[in-house]
Structure 1
Amino acid sequence: MELQDRRGIETDVYQPAEDSQLLADAVCERLGRDAGDTAEKRRTVLEVGTGSGYVADRIAEATDARVIASDLNPHAVRQARERGLETVRADLVSPFVDGAFDAVAFNPPYLPTEPDTEWDDWMERALSGGEDGREIIDPFLESVGRVLAPDGVVYLLVSSLTDVDAVAERAGEAGFSAAAVADHSFPFETLTVLELFR
């Protein structure tokens, strides 16, 4: 019974893939690089949509930051907690207080999906970004600024399938400047990590 339960959790939780690794590498490099110059900054990090907890775990290992992992999926929260991470079940940044985080990382659901081909389960929610791929990205951009410390930054993974320029424009409307800090190309898409700052 234990094995079946564990397998059920794994099929309901997004597991690390190339996008996870790209985001983790970029955040660890950026936060690690800044640590010497700004010892008092970037000390509390939130990973939204943590899935298995891979990215949050990498950040915790590579930096001295307190890392909070959050996800709406209760199976993901359980799996991240099993990694020893401090976890919160949350819809984007809704339960967190204003100005709480020096950095926020997010690998959102970004695959464009036609409404008639969607199915209602946790894995679909982890992958589907709606018709334009930005169904979750847009409300995240509208709300994330509230939980950032004054010099806080956001690391957002986006795909060429979601139109990176449109995401950067939407970030600008939310008060952020955007810079691409990492990318990786595949035959069918390019993944980019945007650093958003005010």
Structure 2
Amino acid sequence: MTTVTLPGVYTAQDDTDLLVHHLHQETLPPQAEVLDVGTGTGAVALAAARLGARVTAVDISWRAALNAKVNAVLARLPLRVRRGDLLAPVSGRSFDLILSNPPYVPAPAASCPRRGGARAWDAGRDGRLVLDRICQNAPVLLRPGGVLLLVQSALSGPQESLRQLRAAGLRAGIVERHCIAFGPVLRSRNDWLRGRGLVEGDDDKEELVIIRAVRLGRPG
């Protein structure tokens, strides 16, 4: 399937593939309402649209929002794209499935970048500036029986994600762990990561995890 990646938009990588793989493991109701938070090129959102879901894709980057629209046209798939900050554009709505591959890389800067490519991956010193907001705010948008699928790095505290999701009343667990070699970003801050105690010895592998959280109750 032909897709394009505009300059400054996050290129779909291993974390995207993992999320799409687990999307295909879900049993969606007919005409399921699906939300993709931080859509980037729209790769995950369009994978859901191919399953017959009604998909809303959100990104704070105007380039990413445009990129998702272009790829939807190329794929000849319906996709509702909204530009905005995480869940704000869909306030008051509810979904059967929420998907997210958010920024989660620990970074020396205490705040998230406001512009540039790093906005797609840097998320503060513990990598949780965006993850915390999703874990705290996404549960109220899930319908009974609805599912949140979230991909993040083990460097950014998956146990904290589980704690917050469970505190919100969801049944949450890690459904996959997958190791990949450090990419250019993590290689460039290897010494900083070691200084923070996030990486030990000669380890040059990053563990990605998929978290699946379910809102208890029956659909409908």
**TM-based fold match above 0.5:** yes
For the aligned residues, what is the CA RMSD? 2.1
Report the counterpart of residue 188 of structure 2 in structure 1. none
Query: Distance between the aligned counterparts of 1:11 and 1:83, measured in 2?
Result: 14
Q: Secondary structure at the match of 1:166?
A: helix
Query: Distance between the aligned counterparts of 1:149 and 1:98, measured in 2?
Result: 12
Whether the aligned pair in 2 keeps the contact of 1:171 and 1:196 (CA below 8 Å) is yes
Report the counterpart of residue 164 of structure 2 in structure 1. 170
Report the counterpart of residue 4 of structure 1 in structure 2. none
Deviation at 1:86, TM superposition (A): 2.0
Unaligned ranges ≥5, structure 2: 73-78, 182-204, 216-220
Report the counterpart of residue 194 of structure 1 in structure 2. 211
Tell me whether 186-195 or 51-60 shows the greater mean CA deviation.
Answer: 186-195
* 1:104-159 C-alpha deviation (Å, 9 max, x unpaired): 00001000001179765231111111110111010111111222212211001011
Whether the aligned pair in 2 keeps the contact of 1:107 and 1:156 (CA below 8 Å) is yes
Which residue type is aligned with residue 206 of structure 2? Answer: E
Tell me whether 166-175 or 74-83 shows the greater mean CA deviation.
Answer: 166-175
Query: Distance between the aligned counterparts of 1:98 and 1:156, measured in 2?
Result: 21
Report the counterpart of residue 156 of structure 1 in structure 2. 150
Query: Distance between the aligned counterparts of 1:119 and 1:50, measured in 2?
Result: 17
Moved over 4 A (4+): 116-120
* 1:44-91 C-alpha deviation (Å, 9 max, x unpaired): 100000001111111211x12111111010000000001123211121
**TM (normalized to structure 1)?**
0.84
Which among 15, 33, 38 is matched to residue 19 of structure 1?
Answer: 15
Describe the shift of the 1:117–1:194 C-alpha distance in structure 2 as closer, same or farther (beyond 3 A).
closer
Which residue type is aligned with residue 107 of structure 2? Answer: T
Deviation at 1:102, TM superposition (A): 0.6
Report the counterpart of residue 194 of structure 2 in structure 1. none
Describe the shift of the 1:151–1:118 C-alpha distance in structure 2 as closer, same or farther (beyond 3 A).
closer
Deviation at 1:189, TM superposition (A): 1.3
Report the counterpart of residue 98 of structure 1 in structure 2. 92
Unaligned ranges ≥5, structure 1: 1-6
Whether the aligned pair in 2 keeps the contact of 1:13 and 1:76 (CA below 8 Å) is yes
Whether the aligned pair in 2 keeps the contact of 1:22 and 1:183 (CA below 8 Å) is no
Q: Which structure shows the higher helix fraction? A: 1
Percent identical across equivalent pairs? 31
Which among 122, 126, 129 is matched to residue 128 of structure 1?
Answer: 122
Deviation at 1:22, TM superposition (A): 0.5
Q: Secondary structure at the match of 1:56?
A: helix
* 1:138-185 C-alpha deviation (Å, 9 max, x unpaired): 011111122221221100101111121122112222322212223311
Report the counterpart of residue 89 of structure 1 in structure 2. 83
Whether the aligned pair in 2 keeps the contact of 1:49 and 1:70 (CA below 8 Å) is yes
Whether the aligned pair in 2 keeps the contact of 1:99 and 1:146 (CA below 8 Å) is no
Whether the aligned pair in 2 keeps the contact of 1:16 and 1:52 (CA below 8 Å) is yes
Report the counterpart of residue 35 of structure 2 in structure 1. 46
